[in-house]
Chain A
Amino acid sequence: DTAVSQTPKYLVTQMGNDKSIKCEQNLGHDTMYWYKQDSKKFLKIMFSYNNKELIINETVPNRFSPKSPDKAHLNLHINSLELGDSAVYFCASSSLGQGSTNEKLFFGSGTQLSVL
């Protein structure tokens, strides 16, 4: 019973295609995130949703669109994939906003996206 699960684990696709990565958490958290780990291994936040509302939207191309159908799910859709989109994408959740001031992130196992 994985706390934060994301699928697929590996995604290999051609430039120009559209793809989605799904994420689900069963921790009852209100806040979910997408992080990108680039080639230099930095983990950088892309989006944060709290109770299905977009809270953080870092400088990410419009081709990336998160969708949160409910607070347990945050999917990432990417249009017109480019070579530079190749990275590992991590979904995460936290209980921040549920009365806690200091909280930690719970991560999924990552999706390795390779754009050819």
Chain B
Amino acid sequence: DQQVKQNSPSLSVQEGRISILNCDYTNSMFDYFLWYKKYPAEGPTFLISISSIKDKNEDGRFTVFLNKSAKHLSLHIVPSQPGDSAVYFCAASLPFYGQNFVFGPGTRLSVLP
């Protein structure tokens, strides 16, 4: 039972353009969402998070949008840079049980120079 879905296994974007990575979830009890970035042969590293009380969170070139009614979140990267090429994982956690983060399968982003 896949509670966090990332339906695009891969995405290619031109350098300088916007990258939009999507994530859908099925459990309406999830209240905290995170995006992780992973380079080959390295562990995932935290990128940005959002609590369910917000619908947007920005950090530099990265913005996460949350649409609770649609159970959908997206990560926008503007402008995209070649160094952003990596696998991006969406994760979600339940209230009072934040020690169990449920991850999506990831989307491989390729930013072309």
Interface residues of A (CB under 8 A from B): 4, 9, 31, 33, 35, 40-45, 48, 50, 55-56, 90, 92, 94, 96-97, 101-110
Chain A interface, >50% SS class? strand
Residues of chain B contacted by A107 (CB below 8 angstroms): 36, 43-45
Q: Is the CB of A43 within 8 A of B43?
A: no
The answer for the CA separation of A110 and B99 in the assembled complex, in Å, is 19
The answer for the CA separation of A40 and B44 in the assembled complex, in Å, is 16
Q: Is the CB of A96 within 8 A of B99?
A: yes
- Residue-wise interface mask of B (25-38) relative to A, using a CB-CB cutoff of 8 A (1 in contact, 0 not): 00000001010100
Residues of chain A contacted by B69 (CB below 8 angstroms): none
Interface residues of B (CB under 8 A from A): 2, 32, 34, 36, 41-46, 49, 51, 87, 89, 91, 98-101, 103-106
Chain B residue nearest in CB terms to A38: B105
Residues of chain A contacted by B44 (CB below 8 angstroms): 43, 90, 105, 107
Residues of chain B contacted by A42 (CB below 8 angstroms): 2, 103-105
**Total number of residue pairs linking A and B with CB closer than 8 Å:** 58
Q: Is the CB of A48 within 8 A of B98?
A: no
B57 to chain A, nearest CB (A): 11
Residues of chain A contacted by B87 (CB below 8 angstroms): 41
The answer for the CA separation of A108 and B45 in the assembled complex, in Å, is 9
Partner of B98, one of A41, A43, A96: A96
The 6 nearest A-B residue pairs measured at CB: A107-B43, A43-B103, A104-B46, A109-B43, A107-B44, A48-B99
The answer for the CA separation of A50 and B98 in the assembled complex, in Å, is 12
User: What are 14 A-B contacts defined by CB distance under 8 Å?
Assistant: A31-B99, A42-B104, A43-B89, A43-B91, A45-B100, A50-B99, A92-B43, A96-B98, A96-B99, A102-B49, A104-B49, A105-B101, A106-B46, A108-B43
